[in-house]
Amino acid sequence: MDAFAARLETLEHHWMRAWMRGDRKLMKEVASRDFVLLLGGASPTMLDRASWLEAATTRLRLHSYRFGDIYVRRHGGVGVFTAQLELDAALGDHEWKGKMWVSDLWRKHRLRNSWKLVERFISRPDEDDVLRSELTKLQLWN
């Protein structure tokens, strides 16, 4: 594993562990101001940064996670992290468990020597209409 891949994988684990702890401060530091999370499916759902930070520290709780095969690639000031992800989370009483794919887009900060998470795409092979509906309710702009 090259140094860049190791760096991005470390940042991914920091991000996921911050979510598990409900550490809003760390998630806010890692996420860019224009961060979005997109849950892919037949009817995709998106959360902006404010919606994500609120949800991840209150109602959308991560219990455990595990990355499977990991793919990292750098394109200048942009990095791509893609992995199989096994997730055990809950949104209120609704369980969000299973295997899925996660793809994260990282951008190097122009003034600092740090990387910021810009976009997270999660896709599942199966449909979960309850989860999609509940995530849509978390959108602060609605």
Given this model, what pLDDT does residue 120 score?
A: 96
Name every residue whose Cβ is closer than 8 Å to that of residue 56 and which is 6 or more positions away in sequence: 19, 22, 24, 27, 62
Alpha-carbon separation of residue 84 from 20, 29, 50, 51, 69 (angstroms): 18, 25, 26, 24, 6
HEC secondary structure over 54-97: HHHCCCEEEEEEEEEEEEEEEECCEEEEEEEEEEEEEECCEEEE
**The pLDDT value given to residue 4:** 94
Collapse the DSSP code of 140 into the 3-class scheme (helix H, G, I; strand E, B; otherwise coil) and give the result. coil
Q: Which two tokens stand for residue 42?
A: 């037949």
- Cα–Cα distance measured from residue 92 to residue 138, given in angstroms and rounded to the nearest whole number: 12
Picking from 84, 87, 81, the residue whose alpha carbon sits closest to that of residue 67 is 84
Kindly give the parts of the chain with pLDDT less than 50: none
3-state SS, residue 49 = helix
